[in-house]
Structure 1
Amino acid sequence: MEGDMEGDMESNGKNNIGRRKVLVIGKSGFIGSSLAQWLGEEGYEVFLVSGRREEWKSFDMAGIDTVVYTAGLAHTKEKKGSEELFLKANVWQAVESAKKAKLSGVPQYIYISSMNVYGSAGKRIGADTPVKPDSLYGRSKRQGEQRILELESEQLAVAVIRPPVVSGAGCKGSIRLLAKASKYIPFFPDYPNQRSMIDIINLCSFISCLIDSNARGIYHPQNKEYISTYQLLSLMAHSRGRTIRPVSFLNPLIAWMIPRVKLLRKIFGDDCYDRAMSEYNNCSYWIRGYRESIHDMVSNVRE
């Protein structure tokens, strides 16, 4: 299955009436715990189990409508010997849980992958952009996608989601470090780059669309608007009652250096999906904007 396959949001005939039962794998993770809480509040019958402790192995999946695999290894420094850890969390455990779901007659399996399957930051991603991971994390996520998509059948719909950076209260990773840094930065270049992000509530809303329609395919959800690095830092500072002054005189130099300096490419390069990749006629999933999302995130960051 090609990596640029468009997902089919149409129902495959499954009866969507009634309270849907969803098993979320990834109890300790930001996405898993947030998704379980949100779905529960929306009226789904939710079961949340640990991926790390492999609680899904003893869970009876009979009668479950959808399994969502949010577990995995992400915010861990890549070093020699860590490849096996990434493969175990992002590939083998996911594949084994998908096999169990299939044998148990579960109609749908959703795998949370990552934008990282396209490689490092510094590019605009379109429908024709090749999948080319360049990190252990990205490669393990891509391998997880491929292995699980091989299990798809008429009876088992497989959906793969490749979200960009996820924000909101309790998020992890480099965005939390940026939130801490916003407390001290007095000024910053207002370089007009475009970055894709998605608020955790918007992601949960999108996942519910896939569940309700028993969808299959590969999806690229994101917030309704792009955001620049300066705008992101500015909103973080604003949530602290601070202001980061924009400076523009460095922008021509930054534009010249982005293709030449990896660090600047990571900070100021574009890192976004084309809008068309994230718009689905049967799913309006944009509930929150950046301001509320980033305020919640900053309020949750410990100094």
Structure 2
Amino acid sequence: MNKKTLLITGASGFIGSNFIKKYEHEYNIIKTCLIEKTPEELDLTGVDTVLHLAALVHQMKGAPEKKYYEVNTELTKRLAVKAKAAGVKHFVFYSTVKVYGFDGDLNNHDFVLTENSPCNPNDPYGDSKYRAEKLLRTLEDENFKVATIRPPMVYGEGVKGNMLSLIKLINKLSIIPFGYSKNKRSIISTENLLAMTHLIIQNSASGIYLGTEGIPVSIREIATSIEKGLGKSRINITLPTIIFKILCKIKPDIMVRLFGTLAFQQEDNYKEIGYKAEASMDDEIKKMIDKFGGKG
């Protein structure tokens, strides 16, 4: 079987570099930097699939609003137009769950989003990605298939962000306030996300993929998994109701991230590619801990 030729934008980023490391022998890979070359300057002769990872992600300190649309929307459109004109058959676009405009719910823990749920992005990052999704759909036809990936929170070896902050906090404290088990949060390890991406490319699949690991987990389950990885036992308490409510009023953003429900369920498409999450949460969190040296 001939190897597919895969052009990857954002190849030096976290997902791109890890994908290449894991699957470099499965594909003929062309790494592309869209800062050095415009889409119009690319030679896409012989390329089977474009894996478009390059993006302006959500900036904590903010970024000019128009920059999100220049990079995430217009650049994506130009790349896809170029790819289609060059005869590329498959385009895989990394989007975000921010397209839903929903950051979590502290009250309704039964609420679940699917790939078919309505999108109402509430910031330039999510909106620019959603506009790109819609533009890509207008280009899709029998000869140009488009797959969109909307990953939830990603964790695993080398990942930073909220999960790593939580690991460091639990590593420091002997008493932790994460006994809450009502919330449901969908997360995906790097290993499972890469495997899903690989299956999408191998099957030239189209449609929307959320990147889930089956049953969503509570903050208590995540904390327990972190304790296992650290090899440390913690006294895990549940915040008294009155304190929980007060914190929800004065620190709503933090409370939603920790105790809110943000759950996703794939309604279809997984069967088409044969995806099933294989890497376990305990194993992947342990890899994170070993990577940053938190154990012991």
- Is the 8 Å Cα contact of residues 189 and 250 (structure 1) preserved in structure 2? no
For residue 28 of structure 2, the aligned residue among 29, 34, 45 is 45
Whole-angstrom distance in 2 between the partners of 1:302 and 1:24: 31
The match for 1:65 is 48
In 2, the alpha carbon distance for the partners of 1:277 and 1:78 equals 37
Gaps of 5+ in 2: 106-111
Cα 1:121/1:109, change in 2 over 3 Å: same
CA separation in 2, counterparts of 1:205 and 1:252?
43
Q: Is the 8 A contact 2:39 2:78 kept in 1?
A: no
Residue type at the aligned position of 1:103 = A
Deviates further, 194-203 or 177-186: 177-186
Which consecutive unaligned segments of at least 5 residues does structure 1 have? Answer: 1-16
- Residues 259-298 of structure 1: pairs in structure 2 closer than 5 A: 261-274=252-265, 276=267, 279-280=270-271, 282-298=273-289
Give the Cα separation in 1 of the matches to 2:162 and 2:94. Answer: 19
Matches within 5 A, 1:236-275: 236-248=226-238, 250=240, 254=244, 261-274=252-265
Report Cα offsets for 1:58-111 as digits up to 9, x if no partner.
4421111110111112252253x5212322332222222111111110000010
Residues 210, 266 of structure 2: 8 Å contact kept: no
**Once the 2 structures are TM-superposed, how far is the Cα of residue 131 of structure 1 from its aligned partner?**
0.7
Is 1:299 the equivalent of 2:283? Answer: no
The residue correspondences of 1:141-220 to structure 2 (distance < 5 A) are 141-185=129-173, 186-192=175-181, 193-220=183-210
In the other structure, the counterpart of 1:88 is: 70
TM-score between the two structures when normalised by the length of structure 2: 0.85
Quick one: percent identity of the two aligned structures?
25
Do 1:229 and 1:267's aligned partners in 2 also have CA atoms closer than 8 Å? yes
> How do 1:59-138 and structure 2 match up within 5 A?
59-79=42-62, 82-123=64-105, 124-126=112-114, 129-138=117-126
CA gap of 1:263–1:297, structure 2 versus 1, over 3 A, is: same
Output the amino acid matched with 1:83.
E
1:212–1:153: structure 2 CA closer, same or farther, 3 Å change rule? same
**Counterpart amino acid of 2:86?**
S
- 2:208–2:269: 8 Å Cα contact kept in structure 1? no
RMSD: 2.7
Q: Is the 8 A contact 2:115 2:266 kept in 1?
A: no
The alpha-carbon distance between structure 1 residues 59 and 298, as it changes in their structure 2 partners (threshold 3 A), is farther
- Once the two structures are overlaid, the 10-residue window that deviates more, 81-90 or 67-76, is 81-90
CA change 1:101–1:127 in 2 (3 A) is closer
SS in 2 for 1:111: strand
Change (3 A) 1:52 1:211: same
Q: Which amino acid in the other structure matches residue 189 of structure 1?
A: F
The 3 A distance-change label for structure 1 pair 161 and 275 is: closer
Q: Does 1:22 align with 2:12?
A: no
SS in 1 for 2:119: coil
Letter in 2 for 1:74: V
Shift of 1:283: 1.1
